[in-house]
Amino acid sequence: MIQRVHNPNNAGYSEYGGRDVRVDPAWQDFKNFYADMGQRPEGKTLERLNTNGDYCKANCTWATPKEQSDNTRNSIRYLYQGRSVSISQLVEISGISYDTLWSRLKSGMSVEDAIKAPLHARLPKIGNQKEKLYEHP
């Protein structure tokens, strides 16, 4: 975290410090970071909940690699049953393959229709998905 934000020679600097992501000044002292975040749980690493936000107690959590991959700046989010989910989360929910689900959503099907349609259903040609919530910039 410190290297990504403060060291221009770090491979990740352009995506962190170079984008003006900051570290809570109190976290410059590891004791303060540890007091806020506790010990790292096995299999998890530090994640910023808002990928455009800073490293601070209110914006950080411990997450698995899978959870982190669902929270990248280029993740497309969909509204499903009142919550924002990634396509990989929809794959888990539905049991439908990523490629099939992506094709259906890209064709313009609603999330509910994409999940409920029989596996060999013909896709309508109606443009872009209307239920997309947002794309990270």
> Are both 83 and 127 inside the same structural domain?
yes
Residue 136 has pLDDT above 50, yes or no: no
Is position 102 within any domain? Answer: yes
Is position 96 within any domain? Answer: yes
Chain centroid offset of residue 62 CA: 13
Is position 71 within any domain? Answer: no
State the residue range of the domain holding 22: 2-64
DSSP label of 56: S
The answer to whether the beta carbons of residues 87 and 74 sit under 8 Å apart is no
Look at the pTM and tell me if it is higher than 0.85.
no
**21-70 pLDDT per residue, tens:** 999 999 999 999 999 999 999 999 999 988 889 999 999 999 998 888 87
> Are both 49 and 10 inside the same structural domain?
yes
Q: Where are the alpha helices (DSSP H) in the chain?
A: 2-6, 30-37, 65-69, 87-94, 98-107, 111-116
Residue at token pair 């929270």: 71
- Domain count for the chain: 2
Task: Give the residue-averaged pLDDT of 101-130.
Answer: 75
> Are both 57 and 12 inside the same structural domain?
yes
Q: Between 87 and 14, where is the model more confident?
A: 14
Residue 122 has pLDDT above 80, yes or no: no
Half-sphere CA count of 24, side-chain side, radius 13 A: 17
> Are both 9 and 52 inside the same structural domain?
yes
Is position 70 within any domain? Answer: no
Say what the pLDDT of residue 128 is. Answer: 53
Is position 26 within any domain? Answer: yes
State phi, psi for 104 to the nearest 5 degrees: -65, -45
Domain endpoint, select from 43, 64, 85: 64
The CA radius of gyration of the chain, in Å to the nearest whole number, is 19
Is position 58 within any domain? Answer: yes
